[in-house]
Structure 1
Amino acid sequence: MTRFVMNLCVTPRFHLPTHLLPAIRLFSFVGAMFGFLHLAATPDLLWLTVLSVLINCSIGPSVPVSDALANHYNQRNLLDYGKTRLWGSLAFVLGSTVTGKMVEVFGPQAIILLAAFGLLATGFWTLLKPSVLPENDTATQPVRPKLSAVMRSKEVLVFVLLVSLIQGSHAAYYAFSSVHWIKSGVSDAVVGYLWSIGVVVEVTMFALSRRLFGHWQVQSLFRLAALAVIVRWGLTGWSIDVGVLVFAQSLHGVTFGLAHIAAMRYIQHQPSDKLMAMQALYNAIPLGAVMAILTMVSGELYSWLQGDAFYVMAALGVPALFLTLPKNQEQNVGVTAKSAEIAQGE
């Protein structure tokens, strides 16, 4: 809820490209400070609660702001967003592995220390001056649009609903897949491999996204992701056979990776004054509020339906398959993406 509120109220204020790098520095150092303060809080529950809210006030906006910075450089044809984003997935794997080893040796208090040092390292890393600084698109400072005005747009509402259905379908997977597989007799080692497969195909999708889907329309990318949602969660609910689960996990690169790339491409080609507002909405609603609500719903569904709860997640892909972005916006996004591809080739 903290991240949801912060992304609605604070993130849109960093609407100029020149705001982005200072914002990342601020959130990194402030987040690290709150992380280190956790060490002095144990075992006071009230103090821990306050610090948890404060650290999420820092981490919440840092994700969309860093994505917006990557989008800015992508718009200027200085980087490939997919190849840049894959480092986030690799860092997730490395961070999880290192944290697990550290906890075995030093206990769970190592988690907070590693998180705080990670934020601190990020802050110092951003002090290095990039060879090409973010710059505003125009000489005059654009007026920051009100988030409520942006949300009243039909195309934005369709976009938010579409991404909410696709990304929200992962709620039962994130919360209960390991529990379900282990209860069904799948070994802990195999469960670990299944999670690894999901991350590997996600990284591969980010690395090859431009080559494989560079000329696809955003609408087509979302439809493919929605179809993969139906197939993936349908198979996950239907069978615990390892071969079936391996195939289902291989679709993570489409249900999450390709859907995220489609969302970023859609946001990248918004008017510059709306870009940060769209980035904030994407992180606040589909990846924040909707995911939180569906995770709670998944808890009730799993206690009632067990593995059949995944069929409900599969059903979320059906309306997503038929939701259509406004025609004129979709054409603009596709044409611009193709032009950028040609420009980069030249």
Structure 2
Amino acid sequence: MPYARLSSYYFFHFAALGALVPFWGPYLLERGFEPVAIGGLMAILMGTKIVAPNLFGAVADRRGERMPIVRLGALMALLSFCAVFWSEGVWLMALTMAIWSFFWNGPLPLMEAVTFNHLGARVSRYAQVRVWGSIGFILVVLGVGWWQQQAGSGVVPIAVLVLFGGIWLSVLVIPDRPPGDRSSGERSQDHDEGEPEPSLVRHLLRRREILFFLAACLLMQASHGAYYAFYSIHLEAAGYSQSAVGALWALGVAIEVLVFLRMHWLLERFSAHALLLVSLALAVLRWLMIGFLVEILALQIIAQTLHAATFGVFHASAIHLAHCYFPGPTQGRGQAAYNSIGFGAGGALGSLSSGLLWSGAGAAWTYVAAAGFAALGFVAVLLSKRRHLGAGL
């Protein structure tokens, strides 16, 4: 298995996320954009995940190969991002962000499928590859936080451009891997071997447990909208320095790294369904702590450690379920559905709603709404009718 090459992709992809998520909002604010506009622009980053993963996944599943499409997407993201430096005004910035985020978001679910195919029977070890994404995020958050404090927010797009270049170089050396044979225990019990793949995908998406699973993913990511769009702004308004903001972001992901390293142990001992419930419950607590107790550093440290659960445990459990729910030739579209509905529709909903609430209702009630999304996600998981799809589900 090309462990180092797979890990390098996750390193650069999530390092770029580390330059974007904590610092893009303050960068846009410094360029003169209003909070409502920032919420809308951040929603574009999430919204392209609705279309791009499905389009990339459909093309890859139809062609029977993934890496050539991943490489094209990485190159187009790198080239189109250059327009950020000359984009003035909300509409031009929106168009620019829509283009480069489309090509940046599209390849990720294909890489998830390729990674799982390389892992084969060792799917519980996925987190040990994915952890390098968290390491990249931490290093960039700390580095860009320090650099931004020295030189201003103009360094943020420079950092993102360099990291997009790293993504493109990393995918050039990753070999493709078609879906392998799935054991009978891993197959969906509703899977008909003779059923055409597009029809099978539609059939899978009508299943009760999959619908509730995807709804929970959407709601969890919607709950993160205020965090991704306004957490840095919220901290700076409360008096935290840019270095402290970067350190708090890095802390959350550092604790997440420890979870990823032990995620295979958790999945071998607890069901992915139970881990989703715990993650959603802790998300409710986390958003209320951020919304109402931002001035208390000790509680913000605790809130950031909960990122290990609200993102790390949730994502690893969810992607494990998505891999099992969508077998064989449906892998690309299955991972695309998880990414587009959860990170795409959910992230866009969270960013838009938080942007609207921030100026009107205020920060505290924006995070109350985030906690409400997570609580609804908890209910969605409880309402799902689980069926036996394999061990650890």
**TM above 0.5:** yes
Structure 1 position 172, deviation (Å): 1.5
Q: Structure 1 residues 82-91 or 104-113, which shifts more?
A: 104-113
Task: Name 1:209's counterpart in structure 2.
Answer: 263
Task: Name 1:20's counterpart in structure 2.
Answer: 66
1:317 and 2:374 correspond = yes
Instruction: Provide Cα deviations, 1:183-223, integer angstroms capped at 9, x if missing partner.
Output: 33445444333222111111221112112443211110111
Q: Which amino acid is 1:264 matched to?
A: I
Distance 2:258 2:241 in 1: 26
In structure 2, do the counterparts of structure 1 residues 42 and 292 end up closer, same or farther at CA, with 3 Å as the change threshold?
A: closer
Structure 2 residue corresponding to 1:191, chosen from 240, 245, 252? 245
Task: Name 1:283's counterpart in structure 2.
Answer: 339
Distance 2:251 2:212 in 1: 31
Distance 1:46 1:316 in 2: 29
Q: Which amino acid is 2:374 matched to?
A: G
Q: Which amino acid is 1:128 matched to?
A: V
Structure 1 position 285, deviation (Å): 1.6
Structure 1 position 114, deviation (Å): 4.6
Task: Name 1:341's counterpart in structure 2.
Answer: none
Task: Name 2:49's counterpart in structure 1.
Answer: 3
What does 1:27-176 align with in structure 2 at a 5 Å threshold? 27-36=73-82, 51-77=96-122, 80-99=125-144, 111-112=156-157, 114-128=159-173, 130=175, 134-137=177-180, 143-145=196-198, 148-176=202-230
Structure 1 position 116, deviation (Å): 4.2
Task: Name 2:291's counterpart in structure 1.
Answer: 237
In structure 2, do the counterparts of structure 1 residues 110 and 266 end up closer, same or farther at CA, with 3 Å as the change threshold?
A: same
Structure 2 residue corresponding to 1:228, chosen from 267, 279, 282? 282
Structure 2 residue corresponding to 1:300, chosen from 345, 356, 364? 356
Residue segments in structure 1 that go unaligned for 5+ positions in a row: 339-346
Structure 1 position 153, deviation (Å): 2.7
Structure 1 position 277, deviation (Å): 1.6
Distance 2:258 2:166 in 1: 26
Q: Which amino acid is 1:296 matched to?
A: L
Residue segments in structure 2 that go unaligned for 5+ positions in a row: 1-46, 182-192
Residue 14 of structure 1 aligns to a residue whose secondary structure is helix
Distance 1:46 1:294 in 2: 21
Q: Which amino acid is 1:62 matched to?
A: P
Q: Which amino acid is 2:329 matched to?
A: D
Instruction: Provide Cα deviations, 1:229-284, integer angstroms capped at 9, x if missing partner.
Output: 12212222342322222112111100111110111110121322332222111111
In structure 2, do the counterparts of structure 1 residues 28 and 87 end up closer, same or farther at CA, with 3 Å as the change threshold?
A: same
Structure 2 residue corresponding to 1:327, chosen from 379, 382, 386? 386
Structure 1 position 82, deviation (Å): 0.6
Residue 361 of structure 2 aligns to a residue whose secondary structure is helix
1:252 and 2:307 correspond = yes
Instruction: Provide Cα deviations, 1:13-34, integer angstroms capped at 9, x if missing partner.
Output: 3227951222222212232233
1:262 and 2:262 correspond = no
Structure 1 position 311, deviation (Å): 2.3
In structure 2, do the counterparts of structure 1 residues 178 and 50 end up closer, same or farther at CA, with 3 Å as the change threshold?
A: closer
Q: Structure 1 residues 12-21 or 237-246, which shifts more?
A: 12-21
Q: Structure 1 residues 84-93 or 237-246, which shifts more?
A: 237-246
Check whether the contact 1:75–1:268 (CA below 8 A) recurs between aligned residues. no
Structure 1 position 79, deviation (Å): 7.8
Structure 2 length as normaliser, TM-score? 0.72
Distance 2:245 2:76 in 1: 36
Identity across matched positions, percent: 22
Check whether the contact 1:17–1:135 (CA below 8 A) recurs between aligned residues. no
Structure 1 length as normaliser, TM-score? 0.81
Task: Name 2:13's counterpart in structure 1.
Answer: none
Residue 327 of structure 1 aligns to a residue whose secondary structure is coil
| Paired residues, number | 330
Q: Which amino acid is 2:59 matched to?
A: R
In structure 2, do the counterparts of structure 1 residues 24 and 141 end up closer, same or farther at CA, with 3 Å as the change threshold?
A: farther
Q: Which amino acid is 1:326 matched to?
A: K
Check whether the contact 2:77–2:104 (CA below 8 A) recurs between aligned residues. yes
Check whether the contact 2:65–2:178 (CA below 8 A) recurs between aligned residues. no
Distance 1:254 1:296 in 2: 24
Residue 66 of structure 2 aligns to a residue whose secondary structure is helix
Q: Which amino acid is 1:24 matched to?
A: V
